[in-house]
């Protein structure tokens, strides 16, 4: 005779209901990350602010996400949202532009390289390239650059 497994539909008991209600109540008291409270200031808003401040388009969304996380960890997400809404904060704007041009995090105590080869500095210094980055085919340097 084959073995048969009898399964029973899950029934919500009073104990299960009370446990679920208690868990939901406890979870609702857990603090939200600060960036979740910033009235919709997300990576896309940060990217738009960055493009406005740097006057560049096509910035990396991955780099923007990394930078936004660092600014959020520093507690500056509200200041970024204020800057995006038109309030003046020259120090923060300079910090943002510097981060995009250097590819370094805006944390002076704990600098991290977020990007190297695709930072804006290489567009500004178009006569050179990142160290260790191939400039073209073998011997590309023998011909003068196009005017």
Q: Are 47 and 59 in contact (CB under 8 A)?
A: yes
Question: Closest Cα to residue 112, out of 100, 123, 125, 103?
Answer: 103
**Crossing angle between the packed helical segments 77-84 and 43-54, to the nearest 10 degrees:** 60
Give me the residue spans of the domains in the chain: 42-125
Q: DSSP H helical segments within the chain, as ranges?
A: 14-28, 43-54, 61-73, 77-84, 90-102, 121-124
- Return per-residue pLDDT of the chain as tens, 147 residues: 556 555 555 576 777 666 666 665 554 555 444 434 444 689 999 999 999 999 999 999 999 999 999 999 899 999 999 999 999 999 999 999 999 999 998 887 888 888 888 899 888 888 888 888 787 788 877 888 776
DSSP 106: S
97 Cα distance to chain centroid? 15
pTM summary value: 0.65
């Amino acid at each position: 005779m084959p073995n048969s497994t009898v399964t029973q539909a899950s029934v919500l008991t009073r104990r299960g209901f009370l446990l679920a209600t208690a868990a939901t109540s406890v979870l609702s008291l857990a603090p939200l990350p600060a960036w979740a409270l910033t009235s919709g200031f997300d990576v896309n808003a940060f990217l738009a602010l960055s493009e406005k401040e740097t006057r560049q388009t096509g910035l990396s969304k991955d780099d923007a996400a990394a930078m936004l996380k660092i600014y959020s960890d520093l507690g500056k997400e509200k200041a970024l949202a204020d800057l995006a809404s038109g309030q003046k904060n020259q120090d923060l704007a300079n910090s943002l532009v510097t981060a995009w041009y250097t590819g370094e995090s805006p944390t002076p105590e704990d600098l991290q390289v977020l990007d190297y080869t695709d930072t804006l500095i290489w567009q500004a210094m178009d006569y050179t390239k990142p160290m260790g980055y191939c400039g073209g085919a073998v011997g590309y340097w023998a011909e003068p650059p196009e005017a």
